[in-house]
Structure 1
Amino acid sequence: MNDDWAAWRARTDLDAYDRRWEQLARDGANPHGEADRVEELLPGGGGRVLDAGCGTGRVAIELARRGHHAVGTDLDADMLERARRKAPDLQWVEADLATLDLGETFDFVVLAGNVVRFVATADRGAAVHRAAAHVAPGGRLLVGFQLVPGGPTVEDHLGWCAEAGLQVERLDATWDGAPYAEGDYVVAQHVRPLRPPSGATDRPPTR
Structure 2
Amino acid sequence: MTEPAPSQRTPSQWEEITAADPSHSTRYIERFRTMAAEGNDIVGEARLIDAMLGRGGRVLDAGCGPGRLGGHLQKAGHEVVGVDVDPVLIAAAEADYPGPTWLVGDLAELDLPSRGVAADFDVIVCAGNVVTFLAPSTRRTVLAGFARHISPTGRVVVGFGAGRDYEFSDFLADASVSGLTVDLLLSTWDLRPFTDDSGFLVAVFSRAE
What TM bracket, shorter-length normalisation? 0.7 to 0.9
**1:5, CA displacement in angstroms?**
6.4
1:42 equivalent to 2:53? Answer yes
Query: What number of residue pairs does the alignment pair up?
Result: 189
Counterpart residue type for residue 190 of structure 1? F
Q: Distance in 1 between matches of 2:35 and 2:22?
A: 17
Distance 1:81 1:138, change over 3 A: same
Counterpart residue type for residue 58 of structure 1? R
Given the alignment, which residue of 76, 84, 94 partners 1:74?
84
**1:21, CA displacement in angstroms?**
3.4
Asked if 1 retains the 8 angstrom alpha-carbon contact of 2:162 and 2:199, the reply is: yes
Residue in structure 2 matched with residue 202 of structure 1 by the alignment: none
Distance 1:85 1:4, change over 3 A: closer
Q: Percent identity?
A: 34
Given the alignment, which residue of 44, 47, 54 partners 2:64?
54
Q: CA RMSD in A?
A: 2.1
Structure 2 residue runs without a partner (length 5+): 1-11, 114-118
After superposition, residues 183-194 of structure 1 pair within 5 angstroms as 183-192=198-207
Q: TM-score, with normalisation over the residues of structure 1? A: 0.82
Q: Distance in 2 between matches of 1:40 and 1:180?
A: 19
Asked if 2 retains the 8 angstrom alpha-carbon contact of 1:129 and 1:160, the reply is: no
Distance 1:120 1:86, change over 3 A: same
Q: TM-score, with normalisation over the residues of structure 2? A: 0.82
Asked if 2 retains the 8 angstrom alpha-carbon contact of 1:98 and 1:123, the reply is: yes
Asked if 2 retains the 8 angstrom alpha-carbon contact of 1:133 and 1:164, the reply is: no
Structure 1 residue runs without a partner (length 5+): 198-207
**1:129, CA displacement in angstroms?**
1.6
Asked if 2 retains the 8 angstrom alpha-carbon contact of 1:116 and 1:128, the reply is: no
After superposition, residues 13-32 of structure 1 pair within 5 angstroms as 13-23=27-37, 26-27=39-40, 30-32=41-43
Task: Point out 4+ residue stretches in structure 1 off by more than 3 angstroms.
Answer: 7-12
